[in-house]
Structure 1
Amino acid sequence: MYHILQSRRHRPSVWTFNRASEWWGVIVPGFTNTQWLENFRMSEETFIYLCNKLRPAMERRDTNFRVCVPLKKRVAIALWKLATGSEYRSVGHLFGASISTVCRCVREFCAAAETLLIPEQIRFPDQERFKEMAAYIENRWGLPQCIGAIDGSHIPIIAPQDYHCDYFNRKGWHSIILQGVVDGKGLFWNVFTGLPGSLHDARVLRLSTLWEVASRGNHIPASTKNIAGVNVGCYILGDSAYPLQNWLLKTIH
């Protein structure tokens, strides 16, 4: 009897709280391409690509005491939260996961994307790439010498305890600012984020790496094109909030 009790005492066991996950396990596998785009804002093919790319950072192994959340489900949880802005509790109910698991998946997904995806997907173009971008924009949109468009976007956050007023933006809520530059196809080639939402777009630009790089003048192509008698260099297009520079043109409202 003693040996039986001892074996039971040291025998590993798996413990989890049973949660309903029929939506992810039964409904999603039957999604059409249209449903994938509507729900996750990407195709299933792109989703599989992301899973494979993020596998080194996000895949987990089962332990003696707990079955891990599979990689695809972890990525899907993070994507759903980011795509819909739903509360952690609502996402957890949908996927059959706890609030802490949802929060962990989102954080790990963002960290993995920053480490593994950004260096590969968002890179400062070289001179040859700039020429290709300028040619595409001129052919597609009729803007000669333009190499991209810049704008800012406010990302909602929960107000931090310290200096919360700095994050209160002109729209009436707390945020951090994401500044992005895209090419003629809408693909990002420069991103800068993290500054408080109260800052003006022009201030954010001056604090960004783009300002430092462009102001030195050794990365933006120096080639010019004669347009109506004026030699025009390559430029980024911005709205009226941005300062006029020889490499940045602004619209007039």
Structure 2
Amino acid sequence: MWAYPRSGHWWDTIVPDFTPLQFMQNFRVSSESFEYNCSQVKHAIGRRNTNYRLCVPIRMRVAIAIWKLATGGEYRTISHLFGVGLSTVFICVQEFCNTVIKVLLPIHIRFPDAEKLLEMATFFNNRWRVPQCVGAIDGSHIPIIAPEDYPRDYFSHKGWHSIVLQAVVDGKGFFWDVCVGYPGSVHDARVLRQSHLWEALSDGELLGQNKVSISGCDVGHYLIGDPAYPMQNWLMKPFSDTGRLTPEQHTYNYRLSSARSVVEMSFGRLKGQWRCLLKRNDCKLELSKRIALTCCVLHNICEEHSDNFTEEHPDRTLNIEPPVQTLTERANTEGADIRAALMMHFNGGNE
């Protein structure tokens, strides 16, 4: 009697009649991925009916959260759509994000072991002919509202307030390390040096387990990044184009750009599917961080379930197609040798 009457006609009547394609187009996840998320979080965010009030069912709670993440819609709009209170929408989003980070993140975003590293290196080598590479690293800016504390630190070079999402992906586009939350004004190299990834890889033990001889040089596993990152034994970047590069160095840069396109395409799919990352979130800083991390976990889940989501009208949205995508296709047939350039890098070339 104290609850404001609302209509849940859309969720109760329209959504159950969705075809699999319609469900994918509306929620941006397949019904299989949706049901998987429900089954994994139901014990943490599920509620029971009481003598005074009916609870919001688990499937609706997950649907509300996924709708918010997939569309970036306002809380009030989602409240009207699902026929629930404004505070209910906010609670569903918060609880879902907290549960995904606690329950699903350790399952779907994991540091690889020696066997997994070998598998990833084989995939990179077979697809792009980049031996011993196990991942591509890059950073992306997530728009946020200006925080109350130190707002100038979060004002990025792009002209708006943001936080930095640093991610490492394998050759298939799965995130296997994510760091999110540093202010938008922080340089990518500094984010890397202050992240747990730097501590985990700097001693060389993890990536140095399966070394191979390349042109007389023992090379362990390594990541690849853009010129903004510092060169390390476990982190390779392109040669600086001074106009005097050798043919081997040009080949190395070309191969590196081809392989590194996988992280740019992963960011493109991430932001294309979870639109809340494309525009400024109407929530506070800490929740923005958890939302970005949750979307990365959901990205891996959707990739594992082979969700082939495509934007209906890509020309009406931001162009998120990486410009180097064609390099990936050409790299499969191009036969130039990268070994000489790798040897130059490990023998002290191009700092």
Q: TM-score, normalised by structure 1?
A: 0.89
| Distance (Å, rounded) in 1 between the aligned partners of 2:41 and 2:147 | 29
In angstroms, what is the RMSD of aligned CA positions? 1.7
1:68 to 50, 55, 72: 55
Alignment match, 2:159 = 172
SS at match of 1:147: strand
Q: How many residues align?
A: 240
Q: Does 1:187 align with 2:174?
A: yes
SS at match of 1:155: strand
Q: Does 1:29 align with 2:19?
A: no
Instruction: Please tell me the residue identity of whatever aligns with 1:44.
Output: S
Task: State the 1:35 CA deviation.
Answer: 2.2
Task: State the 1:62 CA deviation.
Answer: 1.9
**Contact 1:23-1:95 at 8 Å conserved across structures:** yes
Instruction: Please tell me the residue identity of whatever aligns with 1:170.
Output: H
Structure showing greater relative contact order (alpha-carbon pairs closer than 8 Å, 6 or more residues apart):
2
Instruction: Please tell me the residue identity of whatever aligns with 2:109.
Output: I
| Distance (Å, rounded) in 1 between the aligned partners of 2:75 and 2:56 | 16
| Structure 1 residues 89-168: aligned runs within 5 Å | 89-168=76-155
| Distance (Å, rounded) in 1 between the aligned partners of 2:57 and 2:27 | 18
**Contact 1:130-1:221 at 8 Å conserved across structures:** no
Task: State the 1:22 CA deviation.
Answer: 1.8
| Distance (Å, rounded) in 2 between the aligned partners of 1:63 and 1:160 | 39
Query: Structure 1, residues 222-245: CA drift from partner, whole Å, max 9, x if none?
Result: 333334554432111111221111
Q: Which moved more, 1:116-125 or 1:33-42?
A: 33-42
| Distance (Å, rounded) in 2 between the aligned partners of 1:20 and 1:141 | 53
| Distance (Å, rounded) in 1 between the aligned partners of 2:229 and 2:16 | 46
| Distance (Å, rounded) in 2 between the aligned partners of 1:41 and 1:228 | 47
Alignment match, 1:249 = 236
**Contact 1:15-1:66 at 8 Å conserved across structures:** no
Q: Does 1:213 align with 2:200?
A: yes
Instruction: Please tell me the residue identity of whatever aligns with 1:77.
Output: I
Which structure dedicates a bigger proportion of its chain to strand?
Answer: 1
Q: Does 1:43 align with 2:43?
A: no
Unaligned 5+ segments in structure 1 are: 1-13
SS at match of 1:27: helix
Query: Structure 1, residues 82-116: CA drift from partner, whole Å, max 9, x if none?
Result: 11111111111221122211111111111001110
Alignment match, 1:224 = 211
| Distance (Å, rounded) in 2 between the aligned partners of 1:41 and 1:230 | 47
SS at match of 1:191: strand
| Distance (Å, rounded) in 2 between the aligned partners of 1:74 and 1:186 | 29
| Distance (Å, rounded) in 1 between the aligned partners of 2:7 and 2:129 | 54
**Contact 2:154-2:161 at 8 Å conserved across structures:** yes
SS at match of 1:185: coil
Task: State the 1:15 CA deviation.
Answer: 4.0
Query: Structure 1, residues 120-170: CA drift from partner, whole Å, max 9, x if none?
Result: 111111101100111112112322111011111222222211111111111
Task: State the 1:20 CA deviation.
Answer: 1.9
**Contact 1:15-1:65 at 8 Å conserved across structures:** no
Which structure: larger Rg?
Answer: 1
Task: State the 1:74 CA deviation.
Answer: 0.6
Percent identity, aligned pairs only? Answer: 57
Alignment match, 2:223 = 236
SS at match of 1:113: helix
Instruction: Please tell me the residue identity of whatever aligns with 1:113.
Output: V
**Contact 2:207-2:220 at 8 Å conserved across structures:** no
Alignment match, 1:5 = none
SS at match of 1:49: helix
Q: Which moved more, 1:223-232 or 1:184-193?
A: 223-232
CA 1:143–1:31 in structure 2 vs 1: closer, same or farther (change >3 Å)?
A: farther
Alignment match, 2:260 = none
